[in-house]
Amino acid sequence: MVKKDISSRELTEKALKDIEKNSNLNAFITLCADDALKAANEADNLRAKGDTRPLLGVPIAVKDMILTKGVKTTAASKILSNYIPPYDATVVRKLKTAGAIIIGKTNMDEFAMGSSNEHSFFGPVKNPWDTKLVSGGSSGGSAVSVAARLTPFALGTDTGGSIRQPASLCGVVGIKPTYGRVSRYGVVAYASSLDQVGVFARSVEECALLTETISGKDEFDSTSVDITPVGEIKFGIKGLRIGIPKEYFTEALDPIVNSLVSEALNNLRSLGATLVPISLPHTDLALAAYYVIAPAEASSNLARYDGIRYGIREEAEDLFSLYANTREAGFGSEVKRRIIIGTYVLSSGYYDAYYKKAQQVRRLIQNDFLDVFKNSCDVIAAPVSPFPAWKLGEKVSDPLKMYLSDILTIPVNLAGLPGMSIPCGFTSDRLPVGFQLIGKPFDEKTLYQVGATYQKETNFHKELPPGVEDGF
């Protein structure tokens, strides 16, 4: 993936310099400069000896809720602000085995709870297309790192749209693989039945390379699946049936988003695909179901932050006060809100009315997708975000408005399906917009095929934010 006329050392030095130069974007929490330069020297030596691994010596950014041995992993929270993991997450280990260089940890919404990257203990991430706007979240730092050409690739996580939405708002490609395709071992847990590690890159082909590198069965994650690598990407979509869900094209969709996504669909038709109208009738229930299930799982997962085992500690006279003081000081407002919601829906007398019912709705949503894939289409295309990037601070005080920004991505997580955001145009203010491809379970290869064919005919993914030079 690296041009032969530049060494890994030079590439890594450039990335570190560019990250520092663009510190106003606040995309990174921690840099691994010394380790990265050491790894770059080793990569150059290996390449000189004939090592041709495609990721050898390539700098990659990693979302700061993915553990990195000996390097701070904070989940953008005060409670973990000084936590240094003793081991690497499986995805990090796989990247290192492939020769990639971990250059730093990217900023994010605290514990991945947010859609704008404004809920971070380390401050908001800014959109490189307009620094007065949000980057999207929760993997905003990773999306910005690729969009601003600070690194060629980045890892993120997607629980309800946290890769696809910032990818759309920042004008890059982002993929959430099928749940179970990529190990979650070593990833700070938010909602364990929804979380999935995925990747950001400039092109679909690069996303495919990175996704295949980190995929596969892991003995440390019982939900991971043994998957045969996709192999070479096929081009051409003649005869492919692309489902267009009517529930994703409503009056709530911003007109410019509707127009740009519709144009992308027409492009796919001109390339030989057949557009098939479909219905996913339980889509309108997805948001409510998600904001029961995800907070419930978060309430359970975040109970481990008690001031005793790891993280900060606020001293107190008794155990209960220790817990209460530590969590009050360590968690941000959005995290507290979701813990409270989750604890409530799991409490005695409310479990059946809320959590059990939400899980039943989740199955209905999953069945909607499986039915249309069985009977009507090979892949689904839809918008990613109902609107382009918005102003910093515009929605942060209104949680419901913020939650609505994920209304088109959440169903994919509830169903455990693969989803990918691909740039498809710009607003009159030069803000990027993406469209979403949704695939059958473990059928990432069709997403790659459609996405790569589309990008072969378009140049939206090659556009650069103001003042950014493409050095990769």
Q: Active-site residue numbers? A: 63, 138, 162
Q: Is 23 exposed, middle or buried (0-12, 13-18, 19+ CB in 10 A)?
A: exposed
Q: Print burial letters for 348-370: b (CB count within 10 Å at least 16), e (below 16).
A: eeeeeebbebbeebbeebbebbe
d(CA 212, CA 320): 46
Residue 315 CB-density burial (10 A; 0-12 exposed, 13-18 middle, 19+ buried): exposed
**Does residue 138 have a cis peptide bond before it, meaning omega lies within 30 degrees of 0?**
yes
Measured CA to CA, the distance from residue 151 to residue 147 in angstroms comes to: 9
Burial track 322-333 (b if 16+ CB lie within 10 A, e otherwise): bbebbbeebbbe
Q: Please, what's the largest Cα pairwise distance for the chain?
A: 70
- Give CB contacts under 8 A, 24+ apart, made by 50-56: 51/99, 53/98, 53/99, 54/1, 54/98, 54/209, 55/1, 55/95, 55/98, 55/99, 55/100, 55/209, 55/210, 55/213, 56/2, 56/8, 56/98, 56/99, 56/100
Of residues 169, 166, 171, the one with CA closest to residue 112: 166
3-state DSSP assignment of residue 382: strand
136 SS3 class: coil
**Which ranges of 306-406 does DSSP label H, i.e. alpha helix?**
319-330, 333-346, 357-375, 399-404
> Which of 239, 217, 213, 242 is CA-nearest to residue 227?
217
Strand partners, 426: 432
Q: E strand or H helix at 452, and its extent?
A: helix 444-457
One-letter amino acid identity for 263? E
Query: Do the bridges between strand 241-245 and strand 379-383 make them parallel or antiparallel, or are there none, so unpaired?
Result: parallel
- The span from the CA of 119 to the CA of 110, in Å, is 6
